[in-house]
Amino acid sequence: MDELQIENWTRQIKVNENGDTIQYSLANSAFYDELISFAQWIQSDELRAQAEEVTRQQENMKKSDGKFDLNAASLASAVELNMSKAACEKIDKMFGENACKKVFGDIIPQMDIIVAFLNAVIPIVKKNAEERSKKINTQFSKSRKGAKS
C-alpha cells in the first residue's frame, strides 16, 4: 500500500503552566485572513467607539450627588462584555475550540488583556511563517535537483 503524508504546518503554542496549547495551521489560507481581520477589528473605529462608550458610561457612574449610578455601570459592563465575547469567539475560531479559556483561564478577559495576547502571538506566527516561506523557497528554487527538464 502506498502512503502519503503532507506537512500541514500545524503549530502549537503553550499558553499556560498546565501545558495547555492552542494551535493553528500555517498552510490554512483562512487563518491569515482571520488573523489580519482580527487585528483590524481591534483597531477599528467601531471598536474604538464602543470603548469610548464604556469610558463615557464609567464617567457617568458617579452622580453629582455622590451616589453610584447602577444604570450607567450596567451599560458600561454590557458593552465591554459584548466586545470581549466577540473577541474570544474570533480567537477560538483562529486557534481552536476553547482557545480563550486555555489562554485566559475561566474568565471573559477585558480588551486590554486580549490586545496583549494579540501582540504576543503575532511575532510567534510571523516567525513560523518565515520558516515555512524559506522551506517553500528551497523546495521550488531553480537550483534544486530535478528542477531542470
pLDDT band at 52 (very low <50, low <70, confident <90, very high): confident
pLDDT in tens, 91-117: 999 999 999 999 999 999 999 999 999
Which residue ranges make up each domain of the chain?
A: 29-133
Residue 149 has pLDDT above 60, yes or no: no
Model pLDDT, residue 56: 78
**DSSP codes of every residue in 62-112:** B-TTS-B-HHHHHHHHHHHHHHHHHHHHHHHHHH-TTHHHHHH-SS---HH
